[in-house]
Amino acid sequence: MVTLEDVARHAGVSLATASRVLNGSTRQVGASLRARVEQAAQQLGYRTNVAAQTLARGASNVVGLVVHDLTDPYFAALADGAMRVAEDQGLMVMVATTHRDPEREIAYVATLNAQRVRAVLLAGSRIANPGVTRRLREELDRYRATGGRIACVGQDLLGADTVAPGNAEGAAELARALAGLGHRRFAVLAGPPWLITAQDRVSGFTGALAELGLPAPQLVHGTFDRDGGYGAAAEVTDATCVFAVNDVMAVGALASFRDRGIRVPEDVSVAGFDDIATLRDLVPSLTTVRLPLSDMGARALELALDPSEEAREPRVERVSGEVVLRGSTRGLTPEG
């Protein structure tokens, strides 16, 4: 294992000089010494020991990213955006997946704190559980207390900088668009009752329907994934339009209807939420609410890294979804 000291000796300079040329010091070093050091490092195959550097500097070059599930394209897109800005800033990204276990989320925050990462990004819906949320906040506070920076993508519940998707607003706008198509009887594949993202989308949707004077939709709960959509769709009775609270669930719903010989959109319309890129070529193409996922991930990391955050209120940036009407929903004549 070749160390800085080896390089310095090989180049015939002091440790300090070697350090200055090899690592981003602002200090200047004479051209000839600089060249000697660089050559020595090259010859010896020197690689900075980041652990030592982190210890000496008291700050690391790593950020942490906590997501539920990387195979969910929603999180993959967020992660991609965050990694883009990390690369731009010369930071490495440590990724942790919780698989929707809030205990693991808390544990990972502690671990990332131990790693002394520069910032941690919490992506994904909060859950409606005060005890868990409190303990997560405590862990985050501990991290923050030592200079850690935090940003979230999702609900603004953690007292940290947040990129907050307009779930309720987007769902409301979707409801209005669907109602504009002539639909009156709706069902909502609502996901788990405790997932706040799901809650918000449901309430935004039902709220808009109520404002329009339309009957309340049928609510069917289930998991937040493809199978949740598939299962919930089977329980829908008497609706001309089904809103799945995310695209992946909508895909499950589509499959469920297909398996039962129910045509979309002829027999029933289906809409989702998120506008997952990988799913854009679905047939019928999915009506949904587009969220700029990658940019949201990028923006969240920017917020977390932005140093102008001394002793002030957490910043909350709302990003609104855009309704995209596609082939999975159709217009109804007044007769239905």
Partner DNA sequence: CTGTTAGCGCATTCAG
Partner DNA sequence: CTGAATGCGCTAACAG
Using rule CB under 7 A, residue 20 touches DNA: yes
DSSP codes, 151-196: EEES-S-SSSEEEEE-HHHHHHHHHHHHHHTT---EEEEEE-TTBH
CB of 44 to DNA, least distance (A): 11
CB of 254 to DNA, least distance (A): 52
CB of 93 to its own copies, least distance (A): 6
CB of 126 to its own copies, least distance (A): 22
Q: Kindly tell me which of 53 and 223 has the beta carbon lying closer to DNA.
A: 53
Return the sign of the alpha-carbon dihedral for residues 146, 68, 63, 151.
negative
Pairing of strands 322-324, 316-319: unpaired
Binding site partner of 28, from DNA, its own copies, none, Cβ cut-off 5-8 A by kind: DNA
Distance CA(225)–CA(81), nearest Å, equals: 22
CB of 193 to its own copies, least distance (A): 25
Stretch that binds DNA, among 3-11, 136-144, 188-196, 270-278 (CB under 7 A): 3-11
Strands across the sheet with 186-191, in order? 218-221, 186-191, 241-244, 269-271
DSSP codes, 208-252: HHHHTTPPPPEEEE--SSHHHHHHHHTT--S-SEEEESSHHHHHH
Evaluate whether 50 touches 74 at the Cβ level (below 8 Å).
no
Binding site partner of 95, from DNA, its own copies, none, Cβ cut-off 5-8 A by kind: its own copies
Pairing of strands 288-290, 322-324: antiparallel
Q: Kindly tell me which of 55 and 216 has the beta carbon lying closer to DNA.
A: 55
- 77: tokens are 């897109």
* Residue appearing with tokens 């089977």: 234
Per the rule left: phi > 0, alpha: psi between -120 and 50, beta: everything else, 90 is: left
Q: Which residues of this chain interact with its own copies, rule CB under 8 A?
A: 1, 45, 47-52, 54-55, 60, 62, 69-71, 73, 76-77, 79-80, 83, 87, 92-97, 110-111, 113-116, 142, 145-147, 226, 248, 251-252, 254-255, 258, 277-279, 281-283, 294
Query: Strand, coil or helix: what is 31?
Result: helix
Site for DNA in 32-51 (CB under 7 A): 32-34, 46, 48-49
Question: Rounded to 5 degrees, what are φ and ψ at 310?
Answer: -65, 125
* Residue appearing with tokens 């997946």: 97
Q: Kindly tell me which of 48 and 278 has the beta carbon lying closer to DNA.
A: 48
CB of 242 to its own copies, least distance (A): 15
Binding site partner of 281, from its own copies, DNA, none, Cβ cut-off 5-8 A by kind: its own copies
Binding site partner of 218, from DNA, its own copies, none, Cβ cut-off 5-8 A by kind: none
Q: Kindly tell me which of 61 and 320 has the beta carbon lying closer to DNA.
A: 61
CB of 306 to DNA, least distance (A): 21
Q: For the purposes of burial, counting CB atoms within 10 Å of the CB of 327, is it exposed (0-12), middle (13-18) or buried (19 or more)?
A: middle
CB of 118 to DNA, least distance (A): 14
Using rule CB under 7 A, residue 258 touches DNA: no
**Binding characters for DNA, 49-68, by CB under 7 A (x = yes):** x--xx-xxxx----------
Q: Kindly tell me which of 94 and 212 has the beta carbon lying closer to its own copies.
A: 94
Return residues touching DNA (CB under 7 A).
1, 3-5, 12-17, 19-20, 22-23, 25, 27-30, 32-34, 46, 48-49, 52-53, 55-58
